[in-house]
Structure 1
């Protein structure tokens, strides 16, 4: 447990001081390359078992790698563990992405805001989004990514150590690459999508509570966020993403929508760049609360 505490503390310091590792050495990029390689080798049939094989083979590989790391002397195992752990979560990167979009909208450069939104946060077509839609999409993506980009990996790290964080991140990577409807993804990515839903069930709800707590600390409308989360979390196709997004929509008193897909907090007003800035302030506090929670959890396990 002391090893895990030190690993987490150094990984957090790395994040806030150095940011993300380059793609060439980023563990998640390696995971993505592994998934992409196997997916390009997919057969013409039996895609569901093949998708299961991709997920389970990756999990097995993670366990082998972590076992090898733990077998090394402390002088090697600690820095390698820190590097792996840092790759599973993001603190500063999330806020930097939101900040770059906010600056573009404040300057009136909608085209740049659309490009940054598509580059950093969403996979949807951003070319025709209005300024309000860009701000709203950034807000909802930041809220959702707070759950699966920070709370979830650290939740599994607190439970199972580095193997838990890496296995979660691998499953989440599989879902982000394969968990789509239509074509080969319908069958090939189903196992990854369902397993990711299961793993995110508790973290997504915990993320919404942390957003509400952060809102209460900064004096935002946390009660409205609680009402919106309880009422609207089921409007999204994901059983989990709606919780932090609906909570943030209610906290900001804005409506968050994705054209033809969902609308959260229908009574809210259209979001503007100021709401994006407020969302980032709330998330910064929520991040601090999340880190405090997981540090205390790991400390309690060490006693």
Structure 2
């Protein structure tokens, strides 16, 4: 049943997304988790505490967040499945944890903006990346968009879909809560090096399989669309480990190889310079056309993901 729910949730999100009026009225599961994380951060992450105590409090905060997600997911799951056709309602709710449609739309907006002007491209890419975009040239904007597309394909689509298919709504909510915590407090900054340690490590573990699965899907999609499947495969194997993250390098390197680009490299986060490794040995001069090519691969990778879940749903129905 969980694979069928995941498949229907993917279909609902792909066709409707998360309606803006609903977001404005009630928010989103990510914003709810973010509010809880912010409250825990404000109450527990005190500068006067020792490093060890702040790390212990960070572990406690993550446990509280995870327990909240699991309890909420289990309650919703039990209520929904007690109703006639409740699994359909469950799929509607679960679709909010997926980001196929919104990811495509945001990245396509960057490509269209960059096709108009560099300033428009910078404005659009600034909505989806945390780096300082004010100094990016055309190639830098394009690379940032493609990197975001690849990384978010993994943790915004593949991972929540996989957790949903395997563990139902409680598992998907747990994943989303941990992933949100990592994005908010899992930084190696003075404030979060201790407090965010547990969130960062847990997110690394949760994404070990999804990130590698996302890279495999990109390889398959490259073959299906006429891009370089061999380049995607070889670049992922060779360069993924160069990335600072144990997971993000896999889909990014695969996408770089598929498109014949060199992604990553130095970048700026508001006066903080990051000397990132380069992934791929192709062109650095990425363009709006390369973003569109990446989106074509992304759509094909989604189709392969859907096919895998269809097979899982059919196997589970036997």
> What range describes the TM-score normalised by the shorter chain of this pair?
over 0.9
Aligned pair 1:100/2:115, yes or no? no
Aligned residue number for residue 271 of structure 2: none
Residue 71 (structure 1) shift:
3.2
Consecutive unaligned residues in structure 2, runs of 5 or more: 267-274
Which deviates more, 9-18 or 88-97?
Answer: 9-18
Distance between the aligned counterparts of 1:85 and 1:202, measured in 2?
21
1:114 aligns with 2:122: yes
What's the offset of the Cα at 1:195?
0.7
Which residue number corresponds to residue 124 of structure 1? 131
- Report how many aligned residue pairs link the two structures: 299
- Written as runs of structure 1 = structure 2, the 5 A alignment for 1:1-303 is 1=1, 4-21=2-19, 22=23, 24-44=26-46, 45=49, 46-72=53-79, 73-75=82-84, 77-78=86-87, 81-107=90-116, 109-119=117-127, 121-259=128-266, 260-303=275-318
Is the CA contact (8 Å cut-off) linking 1:95 and 1:280 kept in structure 2? yes
> Deviation at 1:76?
8.7
Q: TM-score, normalised by structure 1?
A: 0.93
Distance in 1 between the 2:182 and 2:142 partners?
A: 25
How many angstroms apart in 1 are the aligned matches of 2:71 and 2:86?
14
Inter-CA distance 274–51: structure 2 relative to 1 (3 Å threshold)? same
The SS at the match of 1:185 is coil
Q: 1:79 Cα shift?
A: 5.7
Aligned mates of 1:241, 1:6 — CA distance in 2 = 28
- Tell me the secondary structure at the aligned position of residue 264 of structure 2: strand
Deviation larger for 69-78 or 204-213: 69-78
Partner SS state of residue 261, structure 1: strand
| C-alpha distance in structure 1 between counterparts of 2:209 and 2:39, whole Å | 31
Let me know the Cα RMSD of the aligned residues: 1.7
